[in-house]
């Protein structure tokens, strides 16, 4: 019992990420096609669109910012002079002048995943370099390590955590260990966030896999230490990948918010006029963001699921294709500081975007079953996507409309 209590409070004590971090990262949309202009334009747009003021504070440069060799004399990492001609300190200062913070990426192994120089053998020097560049966020990957190193990943992440602390600059430490070696068991003490999953992609099935891996880990999250099911794919689209639908994006954002996951945007923000309004409606929804940032600082949990006929060999659902025979719904709940709750009623449906086996569902939130509170309690219910108060409810709440497959209904319940 004592051990359980102490793991919860023994967090990396850098004072950062008391609530899940919010920001933007270059990887999901731009991969290696990054440069200073993209970063600056992103910062400008985030200010113009009000994203900064909603809490999206960090702009993180992912892999491929480095020159392919360290400086032969100083052994420091060097930004690619073509992509980042003014260097990282200038870029940090640019972010700061706009009220934002710059983040950067490195790797605990010999090379980054895209084969640029890794930090192995240079943890202290790299931490020092990042601090001198006034970096505020480090995403630390783990490609190009040996099997032994991979098994002992905690040693390497601890070493980098200490190196960051030694610089005296509070740098948010984001451990990108893909859920390997059960990071939730050791990373809360040394990192602010740790990846619980493999890489997300803008495909519904992949988002669902990340959800499943992350949703069972709520007990490990808390102020300063968060499970990270990877960055957001809302609005990410590429010629060969159409991306998530509006409904899927809404569910993705709602679920990440209720799981108190870091909200790190991945979509192209460089041209404000080219961002679809439905994307802005999702990522700028204040109420949904407040659920993620609620000061009680807990990760919400799945409290109910109904799975009928989803097994592909189930003839009624998949072969005979009777939609009535297929159901896959999930209910998530997060307690809030005001003694209320947030809830997501999620009609998960099948895996493919065009999966016609599943039907719109009627879903009900039940106070005693799902919130574990007295059913006579009265709450003011607000529809967070519809942005309207629906009235006072007692005992149960059922939305008026059916919930479409891959879509969700998200509400807050405020005690009266």
Residue ranges binding ligand GAL (CB under 6 A): 27, 62-63, 112-114, 141, 143, 176, 178, 199
- Nearest residue by C-beta to ligand GAL? 113
As given in the structure block, the two tokens for residue 149 are 């190193």
CB 362 to ligand GAL: min, Å: 38
In the bound state with ligand GAL, the residue whose beta carbon lies nearer, of 28 and 327, is 28
CB 347 to ligand GAL: min, Å: 29
CB 28 to ligand GAL: min, Å: 8
CB 259 to ligand GAL: min, Å: 18
In the bound state with ligand GAL, the residue whose beta carbon lies nearer, of 22 and 343, is 22
In the bound state with ligand GAL, the residue whose beta carbon lies nearer, of 46 and 111, is 111
In the bound state with ligand GAL, the residue whose beta carbon lies nearer, of 114 and 169, is 114
Angle at 342 between CA 15 and CA 52, to 5 degrees: 45
Per the annotation, the verdict on 68 as an active-site residue is no
Angle at 399 between CA 397 and CA 402, to 5 degrees: 140
- Of 44, 199, 281, 287, which one is the catalytic site residue? 199
- Of 107, 141, 268, 294, which one is the catalytic site residue? 141
Per the annotation, the verdict on 366 as an active-site residue is no
Strand partners, 79: 66
In the bound state with ligand GAL, the residue whose beta carbon lies nearer, of 143 and 301, is 143
In the bound state with ligand GAL, the residue whose beta carbon lies nearer, of 126 and 407, is 126
CB 197 to ligand GAL: min, Å: 9
In the bound state with ligand GAL, the residue whose beta carbon lies nearer, of 61 and 384, is 61
C-alpha separations of 139 from 107, 192, 230, 380 in Å: 8, 10, 11, 40
The secondary structure of the chain, three-state, reads CHHHHHHHHCCCCCCCCCCCCEEEECHHHHCCCCCHHHHHHHHHHHHHCCHHHHCCCEEECCCCCECCCCCCCCCCCCECCCCCCCHHHHHHHHHHHCCCEEEEEEECCCECCCCCECCCCCHHHHHHHHHHCCCCEEEEECCCCCHHHHHCHHHHHHHHHHHHHHHCCCCEEEECCCCCCCHHHCHHHCCCEEECCCCCCCCHHHHHHHHHHHHCCHHHCECCEEEECCCCCCCCCECCECCCCHHHHHHHHHHHHHCCCCEEECCCCCCHHHCCHHHHHHHCCHHHHHHHCCCCCCCCEEEEEEEECCCCCCHHHHHCCCHHHCEEEEEEEEECCCCCEEEEEEECCCCCCCCCCCCCECCCEEHHHHHCCCCCCEEEEEECCCCEEEEEEECEECCCCCECCCCEEEEEEEEC
CB 136 to ligand GAL: min, Å: 18
CB 114 to ligand GAL: min, Å: 5
The position carrying tokens 């919010």 is 22
What are the residue numbers of the active site? 141, 199
């Amino acid at each position: 019992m004592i051990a359980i209590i102490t793991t919860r409070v023994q967090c990396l004590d850098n004072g950062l990420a008391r609530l899940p971090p919010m920001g933007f990262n270059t990887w999901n949309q731009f991969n290696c096609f990054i440069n200073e202009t993209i970063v600056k334009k992103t910062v400008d747009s985030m200010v113009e669109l009000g994203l900064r003021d909603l809490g999206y504070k960090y702009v993180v440069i992912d892999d491929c910012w480095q020159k392919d060799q360290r400086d032969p004399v100083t052994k420091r990492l060097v930004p690619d002079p073509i992509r980042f001609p003014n260097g990282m300190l200038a870029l940090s200062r640019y972010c700061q002048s706009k009220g934002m913070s710059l983040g950067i990426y490195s790797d605990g192994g010999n090379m980054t995943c895209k084969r640029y120089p890794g930090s192995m053998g240079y943890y202290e020097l790299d931490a020092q370099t990042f601090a001198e560049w006034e970096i505020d966020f480090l995403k630390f990957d783990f490609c190009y390590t040996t099997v032994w190193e991979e098994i002992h990943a905690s040693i390497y992440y601890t070493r980098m955590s200490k190196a960051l602390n030694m610089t005296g600059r509070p740098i948010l430490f984001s451990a990108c260990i893909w859920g390997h070696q059960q990071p939730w068991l050791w990373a809360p003490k040394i990192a602010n966030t740790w990846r619980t999953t493999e890489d997300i992609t803008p495909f519904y099935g992949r988002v669902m896999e990340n959800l499943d891996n992350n949703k069972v880990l709520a007990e490990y999250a808390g102020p300063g230490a968060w499970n990270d099911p990877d960055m957001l794919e809302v609005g990410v689209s590429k010629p060969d990948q159409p991306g998530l639908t509006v409904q899927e994006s809404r569910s993705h954002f709602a679920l990440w918010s209720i799981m108190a996951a870091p909200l790190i945007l991945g979509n192209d923000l460089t041209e404000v006029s080219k961002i679809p309004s439905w994307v802005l409606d999702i990522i700028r929804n204040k109420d949904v963001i407040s659920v993620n940032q609620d000061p009680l600082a807990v990760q919400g949990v799945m409290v109910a699921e109904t799975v009928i006929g989803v097994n592909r060999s189930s003839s009624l659902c998949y072969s005979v294709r009777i939609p009535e025979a297929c159901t896959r719904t999930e209910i998530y709940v997060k307690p809030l500081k005001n003694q209320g709750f947030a809830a997501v009623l999620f009609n998960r449906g099948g895996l493919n975007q065009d999966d016609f086996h599943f039907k719109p569902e009627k879903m009900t939130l039940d106070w005693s079953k799902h919130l574990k509170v007295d059913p006579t309690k009265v709450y003011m219910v607000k529809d967070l996507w519809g942005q309207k108060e629906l009235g006072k409810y007692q005992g149960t709440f059922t939305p008026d409309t059916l919930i479409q497959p891959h879509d969700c209904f998200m509400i807050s319940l405020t005690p009266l």
